[in-house]
A and B are shown apart, each in its own frame.
Chain A
Amino acid sequence: MLNTDEVCIRYLMREMDPAEEIEFEREMVNDQNLLIEVESLRRTYQKLGKLPLFDPPKSLVDVIKAKAVAEQSARVNRTKILVLNFAKAVASIAAALLVVSTAYYFYSGIDNQSVDQIINSQSNGIISVEPWVDRNEVIQFVGTTSQQSNSTTMDAEVLQSFDKLKLINSKTGFSAPNRRVVLTSTSQ
């Protein structure tokens, strides 16, 4: 059973699907009162079709248009400025990063350069020996690689180190366990 209160309005406003429409029309055929009610409402609704349209005053419309365009222009400009400032900030950060990274590159380049210089100087036969002690307390010599292991400077250094050794005079005397500094060069 259809609820005539709302369904007849849906029928009049053509908001029914075709199946519902057919069912409602069948119902109207069987119910004369419903048919009269629907026709009466339809006639009233048709009178509403004469409701007039009203134009707003032109001056008012012009004011609204001008104001709207001005406001939206201001908003678009504000957005542009924001985007521009953001782009500037990003560019500044990028520039700063570039400067820092360039500076770092040059700084580390100098270090690398000094190492390169050492290597180059070694290859040219000029040896600067820098002794250091590893964690096994073994003296190592930077630059005294196998290539230059027989160089005179290194030999002199080694010989000098021998001067520090003391000879044992007493052959029978007790001597401390062999605790001596082992002089060596790099293993390479």
Chain B
Amino acid sequence: MDFVKRNTGNKKYTDLKDQDLVKQFRRKADESAFNELMNRHQTKVYSYIYSMVNNPETANDIFQETFTKVVTKMDDTYNEQGKWIAWVMRIAHNATIDHIRKQKRYIDVNSWYSEEDSKADYFDRLQDGSIVDADDQMIENETNISLMSHITKLPEEQRTVVLLRHYYEMPFKEIAELTNVSINTALGRMRYALINLRKHFDEERQQELKHAKH
């Protein structure tokens, strides 16, 4: 406690570690501490969820559900020794998988993604300021959409490993723990995901070549 006081006394919230911010929020309901935590992680958590479900409304629901659980369970299940974001990601992952499994009963996963329909939402949610030139932006966005469509075609287990690795640079040991499989299985899923993606990229390139010939 004294440590937190000392830190907050001398440092800004941006300089504090996640663990100290969590302590501040838990003990004093410190709004600034929670804001800082959200600012640090909201984009990655949301990107993971969005990339997994590929539907803005669903992503919003799961994102909200995730943070509701985070706040509710923080006092009971979060161990302050562990990484806060890893714990949040576990909640986000479980909420996402629960949703996908519920949906699987009714809808084919591969049919969720409709490029035309989702373009507007996709552009709305892209991070601002990264692309300056309009033509470059167009090309970049098309590449991203194509990439997202390939990611969406991956089986759920492979997609999970790819996205956890990409957005969080999560070690395979942690990915394995999060997904309740062995490290070798997680590595194997990554390998199959890359092989599948390579296949999709090749198909796409061949189609582009066909169009160019015609």
When distances are taken between beta carbons in the complex, the residues of chain B under 8 Å from A107 are none
CA of A175 to CA of B60, assembled, Å: 119
CA of A52 to CA of B35, assembled, Å: 23
Contact, CB under 8 Å: B67 / A54: no
Q: How many residues of B contact A (CB 8 A)?
A: 53
Contact, CB under 8 Å: B26 / A47: no
When distances are taken between beta carbons in the complex, the residues of chain A under 8 Å from B72 are 71
Q: How far is the CB of A6 from chain B (nearest CB, A)?
A: 4
Confirm or deny: A88 has a beta carbon within 8 angstroms of a beta carbon on chain B: no
Q: In the complex, which of the residues A10, A48, A54, A65 contacts B162, with contact meaning CB atoms closer than 8 Å? A: A48
When distances are taken between beta carbons in the complex, the residues of chain A under 8 Å from B44 are 53
CA of A73 to CA of B67, assembled, Å: 16
Contact, CB under 8 Å: B127 / A54: yes
When distances are taken between beta carbons in the complex, the residues of chain B under 8 Å from A54 are 43, 46-47, 50-51, 59, 125-127
Most buried by A among B29, B38, B125: B29
Contact, CB under 8 Å: B190 / A13: yes
Assuming the contacts A52-B126, A64-B67, A76-B29, asked whether A57 and B190 have C-beta atoms less than 8 A apart, the reply is: no
CA of A12 to CA of B163, assembled, Å: 16
CA of A132 to CA of B99, assembled, Å: 92
Interface size classification for chain A: 35 or more
Per-residue interface assignment for chain B, residues 26 to 53, with 1 indicating a CB less than 8 Å from any chain A CB and 0 otherwise? 1111010011001000111011001100
Assuming the contacts A44-B197, A45-B194, A72-B29, asked whether A51 and B166 have C-beta atoms less than 8 A apart, the reply is: yes
Q: In the complex, which of the residues A50, A63, A71, A72 contacts B64, with contact meaning CB atoms closer than 8 Å? A: A63
Assuming the contacts A41-B194, A63-B64, A71-B71, asked whether A52 and B144 have C-beta atoms less than 8 A apart, the reply is: yes
CA of A40 to CA of B68, assembled, Å: 42
Assuming the contacts A5-B188, A44-B197, A60-B63, asked whether A53 and B47 have C-beta atoms less than 8 A apart, the reply is: yes
Contact, CB under 8 Å: A56 / B43: yes
CA of A102 to CA of B198, assembled, Å: 87
Q: In the complex, which of the residues A6, A48, A53, A76 contacts B147, with contact meaning CB atoms closer than 8 Å? A: A48
Q: In the complex, which of the residues A45, A56, A63, A68 contacts B34, with contact meaning CB atoms closer than 8 Å? A: A68
Confirm or deny: A111 has a beta carbon within 8 angstroms of a beta carbon on chain B: no
CA of A56 to CA of B144, assembled, Å: 18
CA of A68 to CA of B33, assembled, Å: 11
A-B contact pairs, 14 of them (CB 8 A): A6-B184, A8-B191, A9-B187, A9-B191, A9-B194, A15-B172, A47-B197, A48-B147, A48-B197, A51-B163, A54-B43, A55-B126, A64-B63, A64-B64
List 19 additional A-B contacts (Cβ < 8 Å) besides A64-B63, A72-B29: A6-B184, A6-B188, A9-B194, A40-B198, A41-B195, A44-B194, A47-B147, A48-B197, A51-B148, A52-B127, A53-B43, A53-B47, A55-B125, A56-B60, A61-B42, A69-B34, A75-B29, A76-B27, A76-B28
Instruction: Enumerate chain B interface residues (CB-CB to A < 8 A).
Output: 25-29, 31, 34-35, 38, 42-44, 46-47, 50-51, 59-60, 63-64, 67-68, 70-72, 74-75, 125-128, 143-144, 147-148, 151, 162-163, 165-167, 171-172, 184, 187-188, 190-191, 194-195, 197-198, 201
Instruction: Enumerate chain A interface residues (CB-CB to B < 8 A).
Output: 5-6, 8-10, 13, 15, 40-41, 44-45, 47-57, 60-61, 63-65, 67-69, 71-73, 75-76
